[in-house]
Structure 1
Amino acid sequence: MKKTRTHSGHFAKEQTQKKIHISEVGIGMFVSKLDRDWLETPFLMQGFVVENQDDIEVLAEYCEYVWIDAVQDTWVPPEEHAVTGSTPKQKRYINKISSQQEHRQAIGVYREARKITKSLLEEARLGGAIDTEHAKATVHDCVNSILRNADALMWMGRMRNEDEYTAEHCLNVCILAISFGRHLGMAEEDLHKIGLCGLLHDVGKMRVPPAVLNKPGKLTEKEFKMMKAHTVHGRNLLMSSPGAYHGTVDVAYSHHERLDGTGYPRKLKAAGISEFSRMIAIVDAYDAMTAERCYAPAMPTTEAIKIIYHNRGTQFDGRLADQFIEMIGLYPPGSIVELNNGMVGIVLNTNYRYRHLPKVILVRDSNKKPVREKIVNLAETEKGNLEHDFLIQRVLVDGSYNVRLKDYREKGLQLSFG
């Protein structure tokens, strides 16, 4: 028997050593043995407490199985134990395959999902009910892709087509919402629900006159009222659609409400806004701000994150905003970045150990001339294998230096992954 205690909480009882798969590792567990020699890993201590998701991600890079001295359900964080005496039930997800492997599948998933999303919105525009079974099937495919690897489908979602803004926005909110739920440790069943809420949150816009929906200039007061009515149209459309999940009705109606009561259409305050509506409000705003819209240019992801941060507690739920910012990180997949050496690249995936050092696909040289695509792992700068002028200087908007993400999708860039 062995009892382990740390400064941040306690174990409810003594536990014997137990072998578990890496997918079962949770924060708070004490890892006492690996399926390989400790010297083959970056861990300095032979035995340690898993303190955060980064520890789990690094373990997953080196091990398939580990031995622990306590199981997840016996771990009690001090704040939860003090208030409720309960244990956490969040799931801990890890990537099952690499982002390069998942990109090959994500291309097909995204194309099919985009086609179905456009079809769903077109049916709504023509006055029909929402085909909820098609919507659920689309979300199902997105959930499976994100559970295999969260980065690949998010990368696809960064590729925009201005003429298809509403459809792509709905699909991207779906993808981001599922990824957000995964980051929060939501059960798989709830990932399907939040994904469906994201996919259908703006369906009411199909009942807004196109001249108003696509107006490049500032809306008049009357036009703004027509635009705000999309929340009511969405609620009504989904209520009349057979088999619609009730949560989609609430989110379509409430995703523009604000915690301080200044939102619309009902000016609800915090207590009246559901968790799913709060999540979609954040995801919806982030995706909209980072997209090229008919009335506003796209802004860099870093700027959008700043706006979400500064509106915590008023427009957005503070806890969820912090978690979303943590999930997105400094350089989310699909970000176009300029390096210190002047080269331009596209972020391929997130480095969970070193958030500022992702893998990048180089597409422009220091003179901004096209180059043969090459994947560079910026984490190599930590090992001295890569010059420090490869560090990221700034995030660019899509189209900078004539680098457009959709061009790389169409060129089949996925073939160069691996």
Structure 2
Amino acid sequence: MTNPTEPTQTQPKLARTLTRDLGQLEGQMVKLQGFVHARRDLGGVQFVVLRDKTGLAQCVGSHLSLPLPESSVEILGTVKAHKKAPGGYEVQVESMKVLSAATQASPLEIPKMEWNVNPETMLDYRYVSLRGLRERAALKVQGEIVYAFHTYLRSQGFTEISTPKIVSAGAEGGANLFKLDYFGEQAYLAQSPQLYKQIMVGVFERVYEVAPVYRAEEHATSRHLNEYLSLDVEMGFIDDEDDVMELETGFLSFAMERLGESCAAEFELLGASIPKVPQRIPRITLMDARALVTEKFGHQVGGKDLDPEAERLLCQHYAETEGSDFVFVTKYPRAARPFYTHADHQEDGSLNPDLTRGFDLLFRGIEITSGGQRIHDHAMLMESIDAYKMNREAMSGYSEVFKYGMPPHGGFAIGAERLTAKLLGIANVRYARAFPRDRNRLTP
């Protein structure tokens, strides 16, 4: 019988070791917890590749009962150097415990998944495919972009806001709105926080939001989603749209530096490079951009904007001539910008009704940002609402604030998935979102 006056000796609890830390623990006993990424049984010797949130570890033992891939397990063993093992180290297993066994074979063989093979199957079983190293690498990069967005804007005096996602009218008009019944009234899912973030400039002067937006566009392309994560900024007391472009340049420079520090392994895994952001990103007016791609590349641009091929060619030009993966396209015509975009000035100082202070930012061949200076004068705003044939009464919840001294202001919005996809060379933007929503997909 144990003497109650003597302390009981207990074995110290072994803390969990992450796979990334094995190189610091050679010769030591460790406890790994993770998923069975792959397995091989060579008779007297069994190999288990364990996956945790930081990477992979090769584990080798004998007389092990191997569970199905994706089972979660706990392995105790000793760390040994091994040149051919992931990370240069393996774990010689002393015991393996199944924490939760997979009850059936995975519909996808995760170690062999590729984005260009059975893409719809990978999306159908997204709850499994997201466990792949490439898939989660893309989401980690996106998470770091969002982190950088928060961090940089707060350093510049911005306040985070949260705006409604059920609205009575669209921010940009048009028919690309998801309708819903709101207690017997017609309502919509917000296609942008634009109108609310402008209102909030009158409160905090500098505001931002990270939130999903919804576009009821029947696209079936590799560059569109019907729900995506929008990184929105609005800032007051600006001189013109140049102030907004300078802010975005500062953010991008900060974000790319952050990605280099936190996601080098993910970029290496995906064979991607982190771009350098020029101190001043090249700028070209829309009309000059259209002329350039026609004269240099022989591409005739249709419509009132740049088509996808023109965007690609323009980016190719600036990559070749200035070494920049980014280019701002400025001075969009009124017909190609939303109603709230401020008109540009003519040389004599008067307003030019045909041109605006709106801009797009192109990156590696695709638009990732729309932005510009907004109308802050109430009379000018009402004229614009009329010109766009919008209902004044329906817009009154937004337009009324401009009777009360709104400052000159502007902003931009970045689609997080598009930026992520272009950074990493992902051909289809759907793989840059955990659970994408497109015209054909509501699950999982």
Query: Same fold per TM (> 0.5)?
Result: no
TM-score scaled by length of structure 2: 0.26
Structure showing greater radius of gyration is 2
Which is strand-richer, 1 or 2? 2
